[in-house]
Each structure stands twice: as C-alpha cells, then as structure tokens.
Structure 1
Amino acid sequence: MTQIKQCKLKGAYWIKPPREAYEQKGLAPDLKESRFVYYRYAVHLDEPDQLEISISANSRYRLWINGEPIVSGPCKGDRWRHYYETLNVGSSLRSGLNIFAVQVWSLNTYLVNDPLRADQPLYSISSLPVGPRLALNGICRNAHGESLADLTTGVADWRVYVDDAITFHSDEKYTIFLGAIAERVNAGRLPHGWKYEEKPEGGWFKAEKSEPCLGIEDPYPFYIVPTHPLVERPIPLLYERKRDFIREMPIRKDDVKPFSFINSVVANEWVEIPSHSHVVVELDAGELVTGYPAYCIEQGEGACVTFRYAERYFKPGNEKSSTVRDDARNGVIIGFEDVYYPSGRTELYEPFWLRTFRFVRIEVQTEERPLRFLRPWYRESAYPLQPRSSVVSPVSWVESLYNISLRTLQFCMHETYEDCPYYEQMQFIMDTRLQALFTYSAGGDIGLIRKALEDFHCSLLPEGITQNRFPSTMVQIIPSFSLHYIFMLHDYYWQTGDINLIKRYRPTIDAILDWFDRKVGESGLVERIGYWEYIDWVTEWEGGEPSACKVGPSTIHNLVYASALQVAAKLYFATGRSQIGDEYEVRAQSILCSIERLCWSEERGMYREGPAVEQYSQHAQLWAVLTGLCEGERAKSILNRALDKPQVLKCSFSMAFYLFRALEKGGLYERTAELMKQWRDLLPLQLTTLPETPVEARSDCHAWSALPIYEFTHCILGVKSVKPGWSEILIEPQTLDIPEMKGEIYTPAGVISVGWCKSDTSFFISGKVPDGVPFRVRWSGGIDSYYKNGGSFHESVKWNE
C-alpha cells in the first residue's frame, strides 16, 4: 500500500487580512481583484540555529528574511494540487531581531476569462477566488534543539498590510497571452522598510485566522476535498544567483539624452540625474536570462522611471525582423514595461514576477527634484538543470550551437517547462515532449519531466482529450498535442524503464485514443477533428492548420494518430496488456491502409495533404516514414522529393525533430547537414539562445529549437539506448562533415564516453561504457563489434586513398 506523506503544513492555518485592513485604504475585500498583500513577523531570537519552514500562499508569494530574498512559490499546480515548499532557512537567521516578510499576490484566475482584458491574471497560475492567503509552519530552535519561537500562521502574531500602490497591466503585443505582469508602482504608498525594519511605515493589522491547512489526504468531514488540497512541491527549488549587467549600449542619435553608470561601478556611487531631465540608459546582461531585476533609487520625488525589457534589438518599424541581436546603433528596444514613481526616499524596487531580458532600457523623466540611481543588478533564476553531458569538437560551430541550445533549454525551465519565457510562459505538450528529450540528452534532472506528465494527465477533459497546455486558467485544445503526450510517455519509459509510472497513466492513453477513434469517418480516416488543428507554423497554412482540415481528412493528423497508436501498443505490451496492444496495432494499420489508398499520388511519388487536397508537405512524407508506411528505397525516394522539390511545404523548427528522425530511420541522415545550416546561420546574429523560428522570429528563446542537443549526443556522437532504461546501448556515430568529436553522455546506466575522428584514409573511435552494460559499436564504413560486459573499446578502419 502506498504511503502518503503527511502534509507538513498541518497544524498551521491560512491567514488573511481583516476587513479593517481594506477599509483603512478605502477598499473593499473584493476577491475579483488582483492585489498584493504584505505579511510580516518580527521576532527577537537568542542564538538561532535551526529553522525548517513549510510555506504556501494563494496565489503566489515571495519570502524575504532580514531583507534578503529566500524563495518564491508556490510551485504551479491546479485545483486539485496546491503545492507548498519546505526548506531550511537557519543560515539566514541572526541573533537579535529577525524579520520574516512575505509578499503575496492574490490573483483572480477563476473569475476572469477574457484574454483581451488588460488586467487578465497570469494564465499559468491556477488560483481560487478566496483572496490573499498565507500559510507557514516552522519552529526556530537553537543548537541544543530548544524551541526559540513558533512562526506558525494562526499561532504567531503575523501582521498584514493591504497594498494600494501597485497595479498591473498587460500589453496586447507582448503579454496578452501571458497575463498582466507589468507593474505600475506609486512608491509613495508603499510601506517603507517593511522587509527589514522593526517598525515599518503604514497601518499594519493582526492577520486574521481562516481555515486550517489540510493535505489532499486530510479531507473535511464526509471526505469533502479542502479548498486548497496541499501537496508538497515535487521538484527542486529554482536557483537564484546575483549577477551584474556587463555593459552599457550606445544610444541612437535620434533618442533622448543618455546617462551612464560607468563611473559608479567600482565605488558603487550614486549617479545623480538633475531635475527637469529626460535621460536614458540601455544595459546588456550579456546573454538572455530570466530573473529578478533590482533597482536602487534615491530622492526623485515626482519623477517617472520606465524599465523596458527586451530579448534583442529590433529594426525600427519591424518587430519581427531578424537583426544582429546587439546592434544598438541601428536597432531599438521594444517590449513590455514596468513604470515606477519614486517616493523621494531611498528604496529598492524589485518586480515581483520573473522578468525575461537580455537588454533593459531605463528611461528617467525628473521634475522639480533630482533623482539618484545605483547601478542596477539582477538575480538570475531558473530550474537547476545542471547538465552533465558534454560534446567537444575542433569545429567551432558545434560547441557554440550545443551551448546555445543548453541555454535555450535552461531558460525555458522554471516551475514547468515553457514554450518561451518572454511571452506565454506556458507548458505546451508538443513543446514539452521535445524539451524532455533534450533534458535526457543533456543528462539533467528529470523531476520536471515527471511533473509535466502528471500536469498533462490532470488536464484531461471529460470528453477524453487533454488540454494542449497546462497548468492554465484558460482551456485551449490542440487535439494533435494529446498524441504527443503518448510519445512523451514512451520516451520516459525508454529512458528510465519505469513500468509503474506508465501503468499510472494508461487510462489517459485510452481516453485520448478513444476520442480520436470517435472521429473516424466513412473514409476510414479521422476527420472534422475540431478545435485548433495545429501542426506547424507553415506560411501557406492559416493558423498552422493543414489546408486539408478545412475540407475533410488531413493526412498528417491521421499519420500522427497512427504513430500514437503504434507507440501506445508498445506501452501496453510492456505493461502486460497485450490484448489492448493488439487492438491499437489493428487500428493503426487500418488508418495506414486508408491513407495509402486515398492519399498516395503515383504521379508525384508522395502523399498529398488529404484525399481531396492536391498539396504536398514534408510533414506528410516524414510521418509516413516514421509510421513505417514507407520503408526502404521508397522511404528514401519520398524524403528526397520532400527535401528537393521547391513546391513542397517545409517544416519549421517546431517539426524539425521529426524530420530528422525520419531521415535517420530512412537511411538519409547525411541530409541533415544541409538542414542544420538553419541553426549555423543564426550564430553570426549574436544570439545567446535559439529563436522560435529561423527567420522573422517572435521569441528569441524557444525550447523546441534546442534540437542540436539531441542531434550531437544521440546521432553525431552516436550514443543511443536500444532497450528501456539504457540496459543495452548502441554507439553508432553519424559523422556528417565533422572531422572529429568527443564527449561524455550521462545516462541512467552511468556515464558513456566516446571520441572519434576521421580523415581521408581512416576512421578511429574509442571510449568507455559502464561495466556490465552490453553495447555495440557500429559505423557504416566497416565497424560492427559487440561488447557483452561493457568496458573500454577501441576500433579503427583504414583504407587506400
């Protein structure tokens, strides 16, 4: 019987502001509003040593201890999983006065469902309309284990202040699909010193005790699920690291007057901006990052300071035009903005939500009084990926692309995987499947993958289809993405060999495939799917939907469905339900036979987009190969046509992984060299992460583009698993036009090291596989050796010129 962990917040109470805290500001406790509320607890401690706390909030919180930021949370969940964090903060304490300060953001995510509203909350935060709540449990002890203070909410004397200084706004160009995260701050209304002073400004009230904290296994009477069913955070905390901007960018001649922090770098001196000034500075972090900017401001009452965040410089008048990313002389910074009105005191402004940026433009307009500014900094923050695989090559673009791909993956990982950190910050199934594969390849922690699998399972709708992105306050459906969830489950099984997790999600697989089965029409093909029938961002397709969807069956959708049936069959065979596996194989074969009968064009030697649509794409051909509908020379033929015929619609970065897999399966991997040129051509643009699309990209950090991680490790270096859990390994490099490569690949079986080099007359490969793991070394030029018990290997081939 599975043991359920007891909730570590049990014994604490949710606390909230009393009505008087709102009335003092002339406000009503309107749960429909997004609002900040500040909680603090001040206590004198005599030689504190140990303090483990568990903490959560509705909807979000950020904790400071003695003025230093500690943690943000809770981890993104949904209606049935409200997470809490547990961490040891003993090292942040000191003898004497200690201030625990928590900024809570109450979001109205269940009552607002209009993407065009400027105050639409964050789409990826699920929150109940119960207002700002805080829960914390922890007892501080000295080195002898003696209790010094009980910080538990509902027990300790927590104080609360309702904010009326900060409002949120969205921008229809930059945050419309993210939510209102940009802040407008009237600093004169903030409770100055609330994070670190014993007696801060403002009217503080004793927090009101609300309902007790209960875990999912602690239901109310009659087993009613509690309002916030608490579950411990399943993934590591995000890291935070203080960093400086590396340079100031030149200001265009047609811009406002520049100012500079350069002379204040060493002495950390204030830079003074005179009264009645309008000045600007643009800072470069050196690379695209996600984190918390920090701006220390003094004086300047009546001034307005605008902070604009951008991934790159844009050509004036064209917000998608590809340029050299740091070309400040010919480009402009465009993006969403925080607006800050100083109070005249010394204050540190830190936006609450993570910002994504490489460049920050600070524009200052002073009035009667001068303003003083310290050089800004930021705290970089993301999921602790900690990649352990590596590749090295004398060909410079190899390592450059590999490292940029790793950075792209890193900054699309926070409490969930994200399509892009600047815009939606949403966890999409198709994107996440690829990100998970790249995480395996990089040898990173797989906790976020397991959470994603649970997230998408929890997104299942009553009709049997998953949402295409989750967690999400707005339900959106791209049916084909549900099929990618099945691919993702198979990837996990192949990587780990974990049968039990697959068994856990078999009902979700059945629901998805049965939903598609109900869409099979008289032709024997799935048709009229409905919702957003997206496949790829192809210029000729409106909204990324194959043209065939508008008139009947889509070849591509049916092939992806057939592939998912085949993969599901393998999972059912592996988990002991062969009868259902057989059924899925029969269904897949039926779909493939109908495609062959209705969609094959003998004249073109390819599959058309649908029975009634005379259009051809790389997508249809590659999925025909991946499903085994085309094999051998026929597969090579249709793939070559798909690559060579100019009228064939091309894959973008989002579908490139599948094109590469089809070329690999069809024996044409050498043709990926010309496709990889799209990535190589990005390097001169001074990118530090990879964009959503090769040209005219909206986002400059989009993780489905991090494909080189997979190609360099699995294919070019050549390290693959041929049995679940890496219990048997194949080393088969595809050398392409690269003369030499070596690397270490981290796997569940241990670290595998490989190095190979080739010349006009020879090929040499060597390396090491963990002892006891059988493996085969194979190379098309004449190597095929089997090693039964792991260990070192050395193979070579020589030939006459």
Structure 2
Amino acid sequence: MLADLTTGFADWQAAVDDAITVHSDNQYTIYMGAIAERVKGALLPRRWKEEAEPEGGWYQAEKSDPCLSIGDPYPHFIVPTLPLVSRPIPLLYERQREFVREMPIRQNDLDSFSFYSSVDANYEVNLPPHSNLVIELDAGELVTGYPLYYIDQGKGAKVTFRYAERYFEPGNVKNSTVRDDAYNGVIMGFEDIYYPSGQAELYEPFWLRTFRFIRIEVQTGESPILLRRPRYLESAYPLQAKSSVASPADWVEPLYNVSLRTLQFCMHETYEDCPYYEQMQFIMDTRLQALFTYSVGGDIGLARKALEDFHCSLLPEGITQNRFPSTMVQIIPSFSLHYIFMLHDYYQQTGDTELVKRYRPTVDAILDWFERKVGNTGLVERIGYWEYIDWVTEWEAGEPAASKEGPSTVHNLVYVSALQVAAQLSIVTGRSQVGEEYELRARGILQSIERLCWSEQQGMYCEGPAFEQYSQHAQLWAVLTGLSTGEKAKRVMNNALDKPEVLKCSFSMAFFLFRALEKAGMYERTVELMNQWIELLPLNLTTLPETPTESRSDCHAWSALPLYELTHCILGVKSLKPGWCEVLIEPHTLNLPEMKGEISTPAGIISVNWKKTDKAFYIAGNVPDGIALTVRWNGVIDVNYPNGGSFNESVNCDTSL
C-alpha cells in the first residue's frame, strides 16, 4: 500500500505521479496557495480519465483498519487524526469557457504567434523548430479555474504559462494603472512549465489558477510543435446570486457586478482572502465575505463551515489562529474577536441559537484570553503576536503604533465591541449571568478609555494613553461601542473625516467606518468615501483590489463592500429581528435619483422601488406575507405594515437634503 487513503471503500486505484514537481522560482510563488508546476509530459499517465485500463503503474486501493479488527472502523475508540466525513458544502461548479482576445505584444518582446492565423476550426497553429515565440491571451475578466492546453508533437520543447491578474508597469508589482493596457504594461506572475512528450496531449494544472491574462512562451527544439487555442474550466463555489439592484446612476450596476465577481472568486472550498496569492481563509476577511454573501443570496453553507473551521483552530491558550485551515500557525489576536462578530452575524441572519450554543466555549475562551491581558491602566495591553488592525501606511505591518508602547485604544474598543456582542449571544442562549459579566467588563474598559484617551482639544480619542496620534479607527469604534453618542458621535466622526492628520481606513476597515457613520446619523458622508470604489471602474477592473491604490491583489473580497451598502443601506432593506421575521425598509437616497431592487432573505424575496423628484419622494415594493414591516424615510415617512405584503408610500417635500 502506498498510503492510507481509505474512505471506507476500496473501489478505486492510485498511481505515483513522477511527472510533476513544484517550484518556487520567483517572488510570486512565495506566498502562493497555488502550486506552480514543472511537468515532464512523457512521464504523465495517459487516458486515466477516459479508460478503465489506463497507461501507467496503477495500484488497487486496499481497505485498511486502524487496528487488528474486522467490521469496526474505530476499534477501542482509536480515531484517525483527520477522519473523512461527508462534504458539508456543495461541489464547486465547472464551466468551460473561451479566451476572448489575443493581446498585442510589446515591441521589445519576442516574436508573437496567433491562433487566428489559421482557418482551422480548432484554431491550431504550427510553430517551427528552433524558435522562441509568445502569445498573450485575455479571458475578458478575472476568473479562477483550470486552463486546458492542447499540445501535439514538440518533443524537446519548453512551454511556459504565466498567469496574471493585470498588466503591470515594468518593474512595479504594485500599481493602479489601467488593467488591460498591454502597450505600456507587462504580464508578471507565477508560471507553470511544461515539457511536451512529443505525442498529442492535454495539460491541465493540478490546482486551480487565478488569471485574467495568460502569457504562453514557447521554445522549440529539434521538432516543430502544434498548439491548439486554449480553453479553461471556470470553477468556484456555486454561489446563487439572487439579489439585484438597478439605478439610472451609471456607476451602481457596474460596481455591484464587479463586487459580486470579487466575492464569487474568493469562494472555493473555503472563503479566501485572495485567490491569486495566499488562498487562505482569514477570520476578519471571512466575516465580511459571509455578510456580503447573505446580502446577495442568503447562502449560509460556507459561513457555517468557516465557523467550524475557526472553532477547530482554537489553541490551548484560548486564542484562535487568524487563518485556518493552515499547516502553519499564525495569530492576529484581534481576528479572534471578529470570530465573535461572525457568529453574531450568523445568528442575526438565521435566528439559529443551537449553533451559537455549539461555539459558546470558543467565545468564552477568546474573551478570557483578552481579559488576562488587562494591565494596571484597566486596559488591554502588550497583546503580542501580530497586532494587526488595518493596512495603514503610518503603521508598520498594519499594527497601531501605540501598541508598541502600551495600550492601544483601537484594540481595546474592538475587544469591548466583542464583549457587547458576546453578551447578547449569551443572553439569547440562556446565560444571562454570563452576559451581565461581559457587559460589566465592557463598561470598565470604556470608562478607562474615556478617562485616559479622550482629547477635548482634538475632539477625538488618541491612539493610546498619552500617545498623541489619531486615527479614524479609534473614532469609529468609539461610536460603534456606544462610547460616543449623539452630538459627540457626530463631532468625533466629522473630525475623523475632515482633519488631514488623522490616519485613514483602508478597504479592510471601510465596512466598520460606514457602520459608524450610519450609527451616528451621518450616512450622507459615505458619498465621498464610495468614490474610492467608483474611481476604480475606469481602470477596467473586473474585480476589486485589496487596497484602493498600490494594491498587490486585484481580487480581495473584503473590498466587495458595495454589495452590502447598495442592498442594506441605499436600497434600505434590513432585518430588525434574528431570522428576518421583522423587516425595516429605510433607504438612504444620498445623491441618487432612483433605485430599485430585489433582496433575497430567509423570509423570501423583498422588492423595493424608490424615486426622488424635486418636490416628492415615492417608495413601493413587497415583503412576504406575515413578515412585519416598517417603512421609514428621512423623518417624514414612518409606517407599519404588521402583516407584510405590498406597500406604497409617497410624500411631498423638499428632497434636496
């Protein structure tokens, strides 16, 4: 037996693959979740997908028992470390697609070839011996999947396939240029290398690839080579996008669609930070991605799996790993707090208290870990590990500078927010005494922050006791935790947005910034912030980047925030009670003249259509029967529909506000 791969059955075969080796030849493969391959075609087993008796050395699998016992899969209660269980999520979809165009090759590059130079229906091209030729192909949009390369002849040749999300300025791996500018840009990225066997063959990489552009460079030897135009199998999680929005504003639908594609291609066997690089499931990223998933289709499968994954990552000291599954342990303590937020989001979406009970011990362990970090000031300090909060230019590695000298206001406020959320979860699952304890802890931290970190002169909270630095992050979390309310909250948030010296949030923390503005009654100020997304559209992006400028990744789903804002806030559809048994429709119309849409919820489809004119506002739509509904707008509409159904309201007023 080659390895213990038993599934409880033994009706399959296995073969040792000597053809493929993995390599790490450039900077793009250092942090790659994908496996860059070097393949010797002559050693690949052939026709194993099509024939019952394929070529190569195949071995019949054998069913094995962990101990000398027959019939009992786990005798004496000895259980394998990773027992195989039924798949908790659906299979990834596969869809065959074509590349949409060949890209021009820079003048100082190699000679190019074209699949369109042939009239053959298969778009085949013959390349002569002793040649070095190149072609670059565009899929039309960033995708994840399996390229299919058809090759014949070519013994002694070397074919290199390079994958890229965009064209780069030469020598610059982080830039914000037009993504398909082939005249001024180059394709940089990781590569698969294939050595043809000289026979007709189809090369498909083992693991999925992320790309919009592929560069194929062919070096032939003594023999010619025949290539057929490649295709690819697009593959990702089968997300059912049931929600939609539309508006006369020219940016709404394009931005919604780009955001949806970003989310879609960061979902595979797990949620991913980015499909091109790490392909890792990080807690904070995943919390946001799950929220966005709820917004567009209501799917909870991958979110449930993520909650279990991160629960399984809990370390003996009481903190979770910040990314999981992973062969290497990495810890960002604040990400463990986002696990609690994610559990609360799931409860709000589904009303499922049983799953909350399942993970209460993990919540308790995380919060107790932070409680042990409270110092003499009454604040959490010297947390250790990677104290990341956000990719702020002024913070090394995304860590608040204050955390290196003592307590960090931001870390403490995120901790308070998690305590408050955990208190709610404890109460709804019958542990009111634990909930009261968490609320008491939260109040103590808030009192210390108010005493040690508030600056009346600046009208903001500094980054730590006697640490004179100010960030949007500290102010927004002060609002979200209720430390700042009413007029003080407005003052804090206006200063956070308007004072040039205040450190700014990047895309990773933008969701929380928008929520703070909404809670402070200042959602109209999100117009200027949303421009960061709108201004990306002329760059011909098909997915959204990790950061607004100088981004590494061009597909990073924490940036898919418009999915949430357009559905929940601008269209205005929100749940008032867990499981969507009561609904609020309260649009923030901002500078838009009109919007309509349908939102998929656990209660069913909710439709809304609102319109502004110079003198009036109109809103109509439908909520499933039996779902209590409140319709509000701008302080002049506030109507209850206790049994749901259709609604139609209008008001004559000055809508210029």
Q: TM-score, with normalisation over the residues of structure 1?
A: 0.80
| Aligned with residue 664 of structure 1, among 488, 502, 518 | 518
Whether 1:541 and 2:395 are equivalent positions in the alignment is: yes
Whether 1:645 and 2:490 are equivalent positions in the alignment is: no
Whether 1:773 and 2:631 are equivalent positions in the alignment is: no
Task: Give the Å deviation of 1:136.
Answer: 5.7
Task: Give the Å deviation of 1:322.
Answer: 1.1
Task: Give the Å deviation of 1:575.
Answer: 0.7
| Aligned with residue 261 of structure 1, among 112, 115, 137 | 115
Task: Give the Å deviation of 1:761.
Answer: 1.0
Residue 443 of structure 1 aligns with an amino acid whose one-letter code is G
Q: Secondary structure at the match of 1:174?
A: helix
> Structure 1 residues 198, 669: CA separation in 2 closer, same or farther (over 3 Å shift)?
closer
- Residues 411-459 of structure 1: CA deviation (Å, up to 9, x unaligned): 0000100000000100000000000100010024210000001111111
| Aligned with residue 240 of structure 1, among 90, 94, 102 | 94
| Aligned with residue 196 of structure 1, among 41, 45, 50 | 50
Other-structure match for 1:362: 216
Distance 1:193 1:354 in 2: 21
Distance 1:253 1:347 in 2: 32
Q: Secondary structure at the match of 1:778?
A: strand
- Residues 569-603 of structure 1: CA deviation (Å, up to 9, x unaligned): 01111111100000000000000000000001111
Distance 1:514 1:396 in 2: 49
Other-structure match for 1:284: 138
| Aligned with residue 348 of structure 1, among 191, 202, 225 | 202
Distance 1:212 1:430 in 2: 38
> Structure 1 residues 775, 176: CA separation in 2 closer, same or farther (over 3 Å shift)?
same
Other-structure match for 1:82: none
Whether 1:167 and 2:167 are equivalent positions in the alignment is: no
Task: Give the Å deviation of 1:199.
Answer: 5.0
Distance 1:612 1:755 in 2: 51
1:386, 1:445 within 8 Å by CA — same for their partners in 2? yes
Whether 1:476 and 2:327 are equivalent positions in the alignment is: no
1:608, 1:614 within 8 Å by CA — same for their partners in 2? yes
| Aligned with residue 40 of structure 2, among 175, 179, 186 | 186
Other-structure match for 1:707: 561
> Structure 1 residues 762, 230: CA separation in 2 closer, same or farther (over 3 Å shift)?
same
Mapping 1:545-564, distance limit 5 Å: 545-564=399-418
Structure 1: where are the runs of 5+ without partners? Answer: 1-15, 18-130, 138-151
Task: Give the Å deviation of 1:223.
Answer: 1.1
Distance 1:661 1:617 in 2: 16
Other-structure match for 1:570: 424
Other-structure match for 1:299: 153
Distance 2:230 2:99 in 1: 8
2:33, 2:277 within 8 Å by CA — same for their partners in 1? no
Task: Give the Å deviation of 1:159.
Answer: 4.8
Task: Give the Å deviation of 1:210.
Answer: 3.8
| Aligned with residue 530 of structure 1, among 384, 405, 411 | 384
Other-structure match for 2:369: 515
> Structure 1 residues 624, 159: CA separation in 2 closer, same or farther (over 3 Å shift)?
closer
Other-structure match for 2:178: 324
Other-structure match for 2:641: 787
Other-structure match for 1:27: none
Other-structure match for 1:374: 228
Distance 2:531 2:93 in 1: 34
Other-structure match for 1:142: none
Distance 2:13 2:308 in 1: 37
Distance 2:13 2:73 in 1: 29
1:552, 1:612 within 8 Å by CA — same for their partners in 2? no
- Residues 144-182 of structure 1: CA deviation (Å, up to 9, x unaligned): xxxxxxxx51xx5x5543222110013552232235600
Distance 1:207 1:732 in 2: 60
> Structure 1 residues 505, 209: CA separation in 2 closer, same or farther (over 3 Å shift)?
closer
Whether 1:410 and 2:234 are equivalent positions in the alignment is: no
Point out the structure with the larger helix share. Answer: 2
Which 10-residue stretch deviates more, 267-276 or 477-486?
A: 267-276
For this pair of structures, how many residues does the alignment match? 653
> Structure 1 residues 579, 160: CA separation in 2 closer, same or farther (over 3 Å shift)?
closer
- Residues 383-412 of structure 1: CA deviation (Å, up to 9, x unaligned): 000111110111120000001100000000
Distance 1:649 1:375 in 2: 49
- Residues 295-317 of structure 1: CA deviation (Å, up to 9, x unaligned): 01000000000000000000011
Whether 1:620 and 2:474 are equivalent positions in the alignment is: yes
Q: Secondary structure at the match of 2:215?
A: strand
Other-structure match for 1:310: 164
1:280, 1:364 within 8 Å by CA — same for their partners in 2? yes
Distance 1:714 1:590 in 2: 33
- Residues 445-504 of structure 1: CA deviation (Å, up to 9, x unaligned): 210000001111111000000000111110000000000011111111111100111011
Mapping 1:27-426, distance limit 5 Å: 131=3, 133-135=4-6, 152-153=9-10, 156=11, 159-171=13-25, 173-179=27-33, 181-197=35-51, 199-207=53-61, 210-211=64-65, 220-264=74-118, 267-426=121-280
- Residues 673-709 of structure 1: CA deviation (Å, up to 9, x unaligned): 0000000000000000000001000000000000000
Q: TM-score, with normalisation over the residues of structure 2?
A: 0.97
| Aligned with residue 750 of structure 1, among 592, 604, 609 | 604
Which 10-residue stretch deviates more, 187-196 or 637-646?
A: 187-196
> Structure 1 residues 542, 185: CA separation in 2 closer, same or farther (over 3 Å shift)?
same
> Structure 1 residues 587, 227: CA separation in 2 closer, same or farther (over 3 Å shift)?
closer
Distance 1:766 1:191 in 2: 62
Residue 236 of structure 1 aligns with an amino acid whose one-letter code is P
> Structure 1 residues 653, 201: CA separation in 2 closer, same or farther (over 3 Å shift)?
same
Task: Give the Å deviation of 1:262.
Answer: 1.4
2:270, 2:281 within 8 Å by CA — same for their partners in 1? yes
Q: Secondary structure at the match of 2:79?
A: coil
Distance 1:401 1:491 in 2: 24
Distance 2:456 2:52 in 1: 82
Distance 2:372 2:301 in 1: 34
Task: Give the Å deviation of 1:206.
Answer: 4.7
Q: Secondary structure at the match of 2:462?
A: strand
Which 10-residue stretch deviates more, 168-177 or 364-373?
A: 168-177
Mapping 1:657-736, distance limit 5 Å: 657-736=511-590
2:65, 2:73 within 8 Å by CA — same for their partners in 1? no
Q: Secondary structure at the match of 2:619?
A: strand
1:213, 1:230 within 8 Å by CA — same for their partners in 2? no
Point out which structure has higher relative CO (alpha carbons under 8 A, 6+ apart).
Answer: 2
Distance 1:246 1:624 in 2: 49
Point out the structure with the larger strand share. Answer: 1
Q: Secondary structure at the match of 1:689?
A: coil
Q: Secondary structure at the match of 1:376?
A: strand
Counting aligned pairs with the same residue, the percent is 75
| Aligned with residue 431 of structure 1, among 276, 281, 285 | 285
Cα RMSD for the two superposed structures:
1.7
Residue 177 of structure 2 aligns with an amino acid whose one-letter code is T
- Residues 355-401 of structure 1: CA deviation (Å, up to 9, x unaligned): 00000000000011100001100000000001111101111200000
2:244, 2:597 within 8 Å by CA — same for their partners in 1? yes
Q: Secondary structure at the match of 1:375?
A: strand
Task: Give the Å deviation of 1:760.
Answer: 1.1
Residue 676 of structure 1 aligns with an amino acid whose one-letter code is M
> Structure 1 residues 486, 778: CA separation in 2 closer, same or farther (over 3 Å shift)?
same
1:548, 1:612 within 8 Å by CA — same for their partners in 2? no
Other-structure match for 1:502: 356
Q: Secondary structure at the match of 2:28?
A: coil
1:781, 1:797 within 8 Å by CA — same for their partners in 2? no
Other-structure match for 1:98: none
Other-structure match for 2:652: 798
1:551, 1:612 within 8 Å by CA — same for their partners in 2? no
Task: Give the Å deviation of 1:250.
Answer: 0.5
Distance 2:220 2:25 in 1: 25
Residue 186 of structure 2 aligns with an amino acid whose one-letter code is V
Distance 2:300 2:233 in 1: 24
